[in-house]
Amino acid sequence: MRGVVTVIGKDKVGIIAGVSQNLAEQNINILDVSQTIMDEYFTMMMSVDLSAATVDFEAAKAQFHELGKTLGVKISIQNQEIFDAMHKL
């Protein structure tokens, strides 16, 4: 299964490291990543592969929610099929 991870919040040191470390700990592979800083705000979108994940999707979602609180950002993960369907023109 593939997913889309989004991260949005005020820019500060350690956001990419924290998210990447959490993904590695869950054995979730990063397939593609795009990030930018707009004014003072950090935005990142990742395409990830959850097929070898050590946790199920709901557990990963809960871990990202808690990590977001720790890092002071909002982290979301969605099933890529649902994400694609929601964003079709």
Confidence grade of residue 84 (pLDDT, cut at 50, 70, 90): low
Tokens of 3: 């997913």
Ordered DSSP codes for 11-48: --TTHHHHHHHHHHHTTPEEEEEEEEEETTEEEEEEEE
Non-local (6+) Cβ contacts of 49 within 8 A are 1, 2, 3, 28, 29, 31
- In which element (H, E) is residue 53 found? none
Rounded to two decimals, what is the model's pTM?
0.88
Q: What are 14-47's pLDDT values in tens digits?
A: 999 999 999 999 999 999 999 999 999 999 999 9
